[in-house]
Structure 1
Amino acid sequence: MRWGTYFAVCGAVISIGLALGVTMPLVSLRLESWGYDSFAIGVMAATPAVGVLLGAMIAGRLAARFGTTTLMQLCLLIGALSVGLLALVQYYPVWLLLRLLIGVALTVVFILGESWINQLAVDEWRGRLVALYGTGYALSQLSGPLLLSALGTGNDLGFWTGTGLLIGGSLLLLGRTGAPRVDPHSASGRGLWSFCMRLPTIAWAVVLFAAFEAMMLTLLPIYGLRQGFTQEVALLMASVVVVGDAALQLPIGWLADRMSRLNLFRACGVTLLASSLAIPLLLHTPLIWPTWVLFGASAGGLFTLALILIGERYRDDELVRANAHVAQLWGIGCLVGPLATGAASQWISGHALPLMMALGAAGFVWLAWTRELFDDGTEAVAE
């Protein structure tokens, strides 16, 4: 196994998590300070999701034309430029366009990078290697809000830090080879409905985690502020959620190599449902902190297991195509989650964020117990 390439690709993708962890809360908090309402902030949070859908349609064609490594480096640099412009041109409509471009560019990196990581992973270590990547990505997001707290939200250092991180990510890929072979039509975005019908539980898990991630970085700090907490505590809550995500991914990956992955999948869904329902009840008690940890761990576990299950089933061209569909589903989750939660927060309930997650988790639990994991009824069980 090419360990150097594995860690370089992980580092390049993880640089995105840290950059977004710094800039996404800063965008939301800046809009809040400008007087924008929950729906407007939700629209801004959801805009990159449109870019995700576009990126998933063009990733395969561009990779076949320019090469996987070159394209990933180019997209990281485009993302860096866009984040830098957020600091230079602070105007809501321009920010919408820039966030759209960020969504397109970084989605291409995610599709190709996660395919590359899964292709490199040997079968007997797949759960742990994918979980290690997931842990690193979650830790990068954890470090983002903490770093933003240190840099401050009253200046533009967060934007410039994100720019530098994405440039650094592109440098990590210099000279790396061994990416999956990509056909021009691999990531064209065709066949999404068929993919969802064949893998309904996995598809829903991806949508649910995408909505979770978009809302944690953008709407959770606002949720905390509007429930009476200080900005520092609200940002700490977002960080603790990501701590839960990061801390338990390796144990989940270890378990995924030793037990029924479907049963582990179900356990994560039930835990997410229970913790989501508990948040409004425990929000102003000390028990909210372990609840945030379980909330993050169970949501992150759903996505980690989804990647593991896809990686064990597909290789090369099919793996890239499957990850393109994952990116499309991610875009749908990022689009629907913040928009629906922002609207519900403004017009229905101040606790819309955890209640919407509970609704999504309930849908996953229903699918996990009533539908086959794959279209042929195969249950993924580690050897």
Structure 2
Amino acid sequence: MQSSRYTFWVLIVVVAVAGANQGLTIPLLAVMLEQQGVSTVVNGLNATALYIGVVLVSPWLEIPLRRIGYRNTIFWGLVLLTVSTLLVPMFSSLTVWFVLRLLMGVGDSSLHYASQMWVTKITSEKNRGRDLSIYGLAFGFGFAIGPLGLNLLTFGVWVPFGALIVLYVIAYALLARIKNDFPEEIKQTEKKQNKYVTVLRIAWLALIPPFLYGFMETSLNGSFPIYALRTGLSLEWTSLILPSFIVGSIILQMPLGMLSDRIGRKKVMFVCALVGAVAFFLFPVAGENVWFMMLMLAIAGAAVGSFYSLGLAYAADILPASMIPTVGIIAGINFGVASILAPGLNGFLMQAWEPWTMFWLMGAQLLAFAIACLVHRETSAAQKELPISLQKHG
């Protein structure tokens, strides 16, 4: 048990490093492209390379996970991040940067997928919500402090990338101190059926939160600055309003995970979806009141900031352990697809109607998910669709 907890905390540090990588590289490369005079449209399209990499690699990640194990999959994902990070400041070509950001997406997805699945495996069912919320908290913390590295640009273009390399070295050193592990083998009864169809049929509700979280995160990071400019907000206020969502999610990440351990994931997700929907629907009412904007985003973040981890925990509650790697693949694809769709869809809505319609779209999605929670059958009913040998016990 002690070794499992040590492995757990190593994974927490590693995912915090991954969060810092995303939190720094996304705005850092956007700033560098802006300084080169690249248009905002091209800048945004270049940023989607990260999520394209996530979507392209996600369907295949279960293969290396089962063949080389959790630690080695994380290691090679970290290698891709390291190589890409080192190469970015060597080039200024948009095409090269697109390829490097795509590789970052592949490496980042590999690291996240393997670490999420490993955490899900080594945590007990009674504390699964708490431990996965700590995982999400670590990523959120890393993502929140990542942008601070922008201040290092004043010392030279290589300095912020060098800071990331130092963090990678720490992650390598910690990974070297833990033993490799493998997912549970697929039973013969499972091999006779399509595992993706089985997972989608039984755990479809648990797979919606990753999509919603990906859509909301990308909408706020990519589309909110456009909303701010069109409504007359200054860049200074925008930089203060936007982190409110992350701060809110960090505050309630662990309490919501622990509450879901006690009263059930679906109940927590239902209430959180309703609260988040109300916050997004009320956001346009703020007008020019920046404090009300910050409050609404903080409430929305607190409510739905743990959606990804709650969805994974719920899937782990109702499916056999051997099927959780498949859940992780579908969740990663859903997150990536939502991240790619959000900027274009929000841009269309803001162009065709009003800028605030992006918030109503997010509110409508959360309201629809809350309704889905109400009509979804209970876990015991869903398990009846599994063969007896695959049903969860205990």
TM-score range, shorter chain: 0.7 to 0.9
- Is residue 287 from structure 1 mapped to residue 288 from structure 2 by the alignment? no
Give the AA of the match of 1:207.
Answer: F
Of 281-290 and 367-376, deviating more is: 367-376
Of 257-266 and 192-201, deviating more is: 192-201
Give the AA of the match of 1:310.
Answer: A
TM-superposed CA distance for 1:252, in Å, is 0.3
Q: Give the aligned CA root-mean-square deviation in angstroms.
A: 2.9
Answer whether contact 1:47 1:96 (CA < 8 A) is retained: yes
1:314-367 superposed Cα distances (whole Å, 9 cap, x missing partner): 454322122122112122122212332244345543335423322322331232
Give the AA of the match of 1:174.
Answer: A
1:149-195 superposed Cα distances (whole Å, 9 cap, x missing partner): 54358963444433433343233211312634266999xxx754553
2:263 maps to: 259
2:200 maps to: 196
TM-superposed CA distance for 1:297, in Å, is 1.6
- Is residue 220 from structure 1 mapped to residue 221 from structure 2 by the alignment? no
Answer whether contact 1:28 1:41 (CA < 8 A) is retained: yes
Of 294-303 and 209-218, deviating more is: 209-218
- Is residue 324 from structure 1 mapped to residue 325 from structure 2 by the alignment? no
Residues 1:229 and 1:261: Cα distance change in structure 2 (over 3 Å):
same
Larger Rg: 1 or 2? 2
Residues 1:192 and 1:50: Cα distance change in structure 2 (over 3 Å):
farther
User: Any idea what SS the aligned residue of 1:257 has?
Assistant: helix
Q: How far apart are the structure 1 equivalents of 2:141 and 2:163? A: 16
Which residues of 2 match residues 286-305 of structure 1 at below 5 A? 286-305=291-310
Residues 1:350 and 1:317: Cα distance change in structure 2 (over 3 Å):
same
Answer whether contact 2:248 2:298 (CA < 8 A) is retained: yes
Q: How far apart are the structure 1 equivalents of 2:373 and 2:154? A: 41
Answer whether contact 2:80 2:104 (CA < 8 A) is retained: yes
Of 35-44 and 318-327, deviating more is: 35-44
Answer whether contact 1:80 1:164 (CA < 8 A) is retained: no
TM-superposed CA distance for 1:237, in Å, is 2.3
- Is residue 270 from structure 1 mapped to residue 271 from structure 2 by the alignment? no
Residues 1:177 and 1:274: Cα distance change in structure 2 (over 3 Å):
same
Q: How far apart are the structure 2 equivalents of 1:149 and 1:63? A: 34
TM-score between both structures, scaled by the size of structure 1: 0.87
2:386 maps to: none
Which residues of 2 match residues 91-102 of structure 1 at below 5 A? 91-102=93-104
- Is residue 127 from structure 1 mapped to residue 129 from structure 2 by the alignment? yes
1:239 maps to: 243
TM-superposed CA distance for 1:251, in Å, is 1.1
Of 133-142 and 282-291, deviating more is: 282-291
Of 17-26 and 67-76, deviating more is: 67-76
Answer whether contact 2:59 2:330 (CA < 8 A) is retained: no
1:337 maps to: 342
Residues 1:304 and 1:283: Cα distance change in structure 2 (over 3 Å):
farther
1:244-285 superposed Cα distances (whole Å, 9 cap, x missing partner): 111111110121122132221111111111111222221521
- Aligned residues with identical type, % of pairs: 21
- Match 1:14 to one of 13, 16, 24: 16
TM-superposed CA distance for 1:199, in Å, is 2.3
Which residues of 2 match residues 111-122 of structure 1 at below 5 A? 111-122=113-124
Q: How far apart are the structure 2 equivalents of 1:317 and 1:57? A: 16
Higher normalized contact order (CA 8 Å, seq sep 6+, divided by chain length): 1
Answer whether contact 1:13 1:169 (CA < 8 A) is retained: no
Q: How far apart are the structure 1 equivalents of 2:183 and 2:124? A: 17
- Match 2:366 to one of 354, 361, 366: 361
Q: How far apart are the structure 2 equivalents of 1:155 and 1:222? A: 28
Q: How far apart are the structure 2 equivalents of 1:346 and 1:287? A: 25
1:151 maps to: 152
Give the AA of the match of 1:263.
Answer: K
Which runs of 5 or more structure 1 residues have no equivalent in the other structure?
none
User: Any idea what SS the aligned residue of 2:381 has?
Assistant: coil
Q: How far apart are the structure 2 equivalents of 1:370 and 1:131? A: 26
Residues 1:58 and 1:265: Cα distance change in structure 2 (over 3 Å):
same
Of 315-324 and 135-144, deviating more is: 315-324
Q: How many residues align?
A: 375
Q: How far apart are the structure 1 equivalents of 2:93 and 2:173? A: 31
1:113-142 superposed Cα distances (whole Å, 9 cap, x missing partner): 001111111122222111111112111111
TM-superposed CA distance for 1:18, in Å, is 1.1
TM-superposed CA distance for 1:70, in Å, is 2.1
